[in-house]
């Protein structure tokens, strides 16, 4: 992963969720994160945009049933799946998102299509699915997202978040981007929308400050505008990325919630803090070296 000085300016970080420790060996989770990093890094190494890199990384995680995004998404209280995703371009502040969709194979690509279309930021439900179909994106039967493990979790009465995915990147031109995708929380009310598709809550990117993708207690991420709070603390208080990220999470903790985030600032520095029991995360830094872990 070594390359020219411009390539070495590239940085990529991904997450596979916070708030749980895998009951089984973490190998499949780490392998999924590695594949996502490789997909995103391939884009950056070839001179591609940060926006393309985060989309490529998140698609890999959406297709991996170990994570709560795309295939493998959790069930709501009606034993159905409703998926959310968003993406943001730090160079232009353009953003796109979809919420409460159940037939779009890769919600992050639908979010990207909303961004590119430019008329709206967030589309939901059947309207979002019709938009995706008109844009030629893959639609699948709702059963395609189903896994036995997620159904068992619903039947056991489990609640909470598990495995939301996301990515942030800096490309060789210094542009930032972020993307987040999730199935939400097990047993959530039908129609519930958390932070992942909300720009400024679960996702934020602007070249002047940072790119952020969060995972955790979605309602509290919305109430604290977590992702935007990181950027605001950098812009208005001059805080370094790590301090700003930890302070944003502390605001969630004061309300009784927890979670984590991955972030990259304009200089390519990476922060991946969490205040939950564990977090799945990985990055390729400015030195081109890869680091992946289940942090506890």
Element (H, E) at 86: strand 83-89
Contact 88, 204 (CB under 8 A): yes
Contact 84, 123 (CB under 8 A): no
Q: What does the alpha-carbon distance between residue 113 and residue 92 come to, in Å, rounded to a whole number?
A: 15
Which residues, in sequence order, are CB contacts of 224 under 8 Å at separation 6+? Answer: 248, 251, 252, 255
The residue assigned the tokens 């979670």 is: 259
Contact 273, 246 (CB under 8 A): yes
Q: What does the alpha-carbon distance between residue 52 and residue 160 come to, in Å, rounded to a whole number?
A: 30
The set of catalytic residues is 164
Of 178, 221, 155, whose CA–CA distance to 19 is shortest? Answer: 221
Please count the CA atoms within 13 angstroms of the CA of 122 that sit on its side-chain side. 15
């Amino acid at each position: 992963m070594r390359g020219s000085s411009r390539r070495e300016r590239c940085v990529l970080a991904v997450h596979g969720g916070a708030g749980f420790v895998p009951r089984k060996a973490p190998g499949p989770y780490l392998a999924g994160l590695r594949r996502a990093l490789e997909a995103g890094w391939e884009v950056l190494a070839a001179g591609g945009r940060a926006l393309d890199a985060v989309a490529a990384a998140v698609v890999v995680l959406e297709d991996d049933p170990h994570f709560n995004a795309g295939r493998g998404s959790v069930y709501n209280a009606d034993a159905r799946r409703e998926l959310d995703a968003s993406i943001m371009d730090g160079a232009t502040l353009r953003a796109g998102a979809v919420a409460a969709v159940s037939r779009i194979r890769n919600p992050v690509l639908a979010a990207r299509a909303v961004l590119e279309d430019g008329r709206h930021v967030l589309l939901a439900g059947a309207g979002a699915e019709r938009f995706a179909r008109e844009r030629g994106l893959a639609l699948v039967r709702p059963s395609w997202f189903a896994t036995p493990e997620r159904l068992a979790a619903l039947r056991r009465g489990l609640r909470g978040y598990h495995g939301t995915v996301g990515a942030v990147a800096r490309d060789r031109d210094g542009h930032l981007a972020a993307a987040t995708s999730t199935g939400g929380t097990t047993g959530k009310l039908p129609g519930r929308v958390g932070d992942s598709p909300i720009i400024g809550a679960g996702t934020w990117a602007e070249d002047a400050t940072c790119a952020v993708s969060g995972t955790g207690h979605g309602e509290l991420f919305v109430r604290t505008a977590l992702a935007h709070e990181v950027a605001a603390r950098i812009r208005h208080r001059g805080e370094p990325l790590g301090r700003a990220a930890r302070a944003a999470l502390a605001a969630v903790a004061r309300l009784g919630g927890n979670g984590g985030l991955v972030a990259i600032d304009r200089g390519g520095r990476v922060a991946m803090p969490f205040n939950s029991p564990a977090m799945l995360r990985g990055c390729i830094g400015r030195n081109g070296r890869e680091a992946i872990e289940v942090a506890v």
